[in-house]
Amino acid sequence: MKGKPEIIVVVGPTSSGKSNLAVEIAQACNGEIISADSRQVYRGMNIGSGKVPISYEPNGESKKSGIQKMPRRGKATYYRNIRHHLLDVASPKRTFTVAQYQQHAQRALRTIIKRGKLPIICGGTGMYIDAVIYNYQFPPVPPQPQLRKKLNRMSTHKLVALLSAQDPERAAHIDIHNRRRLIRALEIIQVTGQQVTKLHTTSPYHTLWIGIHIPRKTLVRRIATRLRTRIKEGMIREVEQLHQSGISWHRLESFGLEYRYITQYLQKKFTKDVMIAELERAICRYVKRQMTWFKKNRNIHWIDTAQEAISLTRQSIVSKQ
């Protein structure tokens, strides 16, 4: 390809069918997929994160549940015979930052392009995607003990309000219950004097953005159906296994949504029925934050069918040849 490398980005709210759409595009256009999900990077977080069933060989037997061992360095992961990247690359016992994701994803991009394949970034974590596409420059801001102590004394509501005032874009997508991330974002702003979302340069890629359009009522029904399906598949047991493997309740809660509410249920803070109802509402609120982030991107082509997405991708590839 001439000029900037071609990248396809598939976005949309949770439960919209991004993973399957990305696979269809990859199958039709000789692509490989890079997951852009802040929880799918972690091993053992499979059902709750919506991770696709993976195998370590093309056409191999896919597995989704259970604690996965760390694959041999460089071991590829596949789903429906399409190579996937950035799945199961980190231990849930340790924090995996946006900057680390950016480094891993950019390395994967170089590898995919070198093989003559089409890179397809797929996910719902807007900050991860933008960090790669726009080459965010994350300053090496070391921990600020005094500042952290001061921020830790604030309520979560106050931290969210402060971040919303200083960096509205970051606040629109961040997990508002994750105090660690809220404090880190405020730490970077106060040390550098810049918004986290403005710490970037122009994009080194030619990017085609594809978004899945889905009516709100349909999406709400899908969320409810998927949640109950995941519970039947063993999502509660997955959280129990993670805790038994040495991950604290506090750490599990920090992963948000499914992991937070199931953790609270397992600690008998509320009943199973209340947990499901509260979690369903929380997921719908999260969808609103996702869409707030994506709607600000006017480059996204919102499509209704996979064929539309494939046609757009082929046209974009031809235009760059």
Phi and psi, residue 318, nearest 5°: -60, -40
Q: How confident is the model at residue 73 (pLDDT cuts 50, 70, 90)?
A: very low
**Mean pLDDT for the chain overall:** 90
What is the per-residue pLDDT for 200? Answer: 57
pLDDT of residue 28 exceeding 60? yes
User: How confident is the model over 146-167, as pLDDT tens digits?
Assistant: 999 999 999 989 999 999 999 8
The region that residue 257 occupies, defined by phi over 0 for left and psi between -120 and 50 for alpha, beta otherwise, is left
* Residues 96-104, mean pLDDT to the nearest whole number: 92
**Structural domains of the chain, with CATH:** 6-137+205-215+298-320 (3.40.50.300), 145-196 (1.10.20.140), 216-288 (1.10.287.890)
The residue that leads in pLDDT, 60 or 305, is: 305
Indicate the pTM of the whole model.
0.86
Mean pLDDT throughout 127-133? 91
pLDDT in the model for residue 36 = 96
| Integer Cα distance of 46 and 136 in angstroms | 28
In the predicted structure, residue 70 carries a pLDDT above the cut 50: no
Number of H helices, E strands in the chain: 13, 7
Q: 105-128 burial string, b = 16+ CB within 10 Å, else e?
A: beebbeebbeeeebbbbbbbbbbb
Which SS3 state, helix, strand or coil, does residue 213 take? coil
Q: Could you give the dihedral angle defined by the CA atoms of residues 60, 61, 66 and 68, in that order, rounded to the nearest 10 degrees?
A: -10
**Comparing C-alpha atoms, which of 129, 126, 121 is closest to residue 25?**
121
Strand partners, 35: 122
Which has more confidence, 27 or 62?
27
Beginning with the edge strand found earlier in the chain, give each strand of the sheet holding 77-79 in spatial order.
Answer: 77-79, 82-85, 31-35, 118-122, 6-11, 206-212, 300-303
Residues 68-90 have a mean pLDDT of 79
Which amino acid, 208? L
Of 51-55, 179-183, 218-222, 260-264, least confident by mean pLDDT is 179-183
Q: Is 10 helix (H, G, I), strand (E, B) or coil?
A: strand
Name the band, by pLDDT with cuts 50, 70 and 90, for residue 176. confident
Mean pLDDT over residues 27-46, rounded? 96
Instruction: Please name every residue paired with 232 in a beta bridge, in sequence order, or none if there are none.
Output: none
**What's the confidence (pLDDT) of residue 318?**
84
